[in-house]
A and B are shown apart, each in its own frame.
Chain A
Amino acid sequence: EAGVAQSPRYKIIEKRQSVAFWCNPISGHATLYWYQQILGQGPKLLIQFQNNGVVDDSQLPKDRFSAERLKGVDSTLKIQPAKLEDSAVYLCASSLDRATPYEQYFGPGTRLTVT
C-alpha cells in the first residue's frame, strides 16, 4: 500500500513570497490533516478535512494560510505571504475516517525555510 505522498520535500523562499505544498493521501482515506512542525516541537494541527469539507481549521492562521481539497482526494496548502516564523516542516497525514484520528499515517513532510 502506497503511503502519504508530499511534494516538494524542500522549499526555500524569501519572506513575503508565496508557496504551495501538495499532499496525496492513502487511497480510500477520507480524512486528511495538515500539521506544522517547528524545529524542536511536536506537530501542531493546522486543518482537518473530511472528504472535501473542512472539519477543523481553528488553528489555521487564515490571514495568510489557506488549504483546499476540492475533489476530496489530494490537497494543497498555501502560504501567502510567508513570514520568517513560518519556517517549519509541513506534514500531511490521512486516516480512514474522522472517527479514527488515532490511526493517522503521516507523509515525509515538506521542509520550508523562509529567509
Chain B
Amino acid sequence: GESVGLHLPTLSVQEGDNSIINCAYSNSASDYFIWYKQESGKGPQFIIDIRSNMDKRQGQRVTVLLNKTVKHLSLQIAATQPGDSAVYFCAAPRDYGQNFVFGPGTRLSVLP
C-alpha cells in the first residue's frame, strides 16, 4: 500500500528564515496530497493541498512543490515565525478507499 515518509524528523530554523520540509511517497498513482500542521495538544490542521497535475501551489507564506518523477513533495514556509513551530505532516491517498496515509511528521522549531 501507499507509504509516506519524511526526510527529517526535526528541523530548526531561525526566525525570519525560510523553512523547507520534505516528504516522499511510494505510489506513483497518488493524485492528491495534503500538508497538515499539528500544534502541541491540538489535532492536525489543514494547511495546503496539491493535485498531481500541478507542480507548484502557493498559499499565504506557504508553497508546496511536487516532483512526480522522484515522488517527492516539499512544503516551504517563507519568513518563518514562532507561531509556525509545530509538527508538519504530509498525507497521500491510500491505495484503496477514500482516505489518507499520513507520514511520520517533521517537528519544526523556530529559534529566536
Contact with A along B94-112 (1 / 0, CB 8 A): 0001111111110000000
- B41: interface (CB < 8 Å): yes
Question: Which A residues fall within an 8 A CB radius of B?
Answer: 4, 33, 40-45, 48, 55-56, 58, 91, 93, 98-99, 101-104, 106-109
* Interface pair A99/B105, CB less than 8 Å apart: no
Closest chain A residue to B5, Cβ basis: A42
Quote the shortest CB–CB distance from A107 to chain B (angstroms).
5
Which of A44, A58, A91, A101 contacts B98 (CB under 8 A)? Answer: A101
Interface residues on B, range: 20 to 34
Given contacts A56-B97, A91-B43, contact A43 B102 (CB under 8 A): yes
Quote the shortest CB–CB distance from B3 to chain A (angstroms).
11
- B67: interface (CB < 8 Å): no
Which chain A residues lie closer than 8 Å to B9 at the CB level?
A: 40
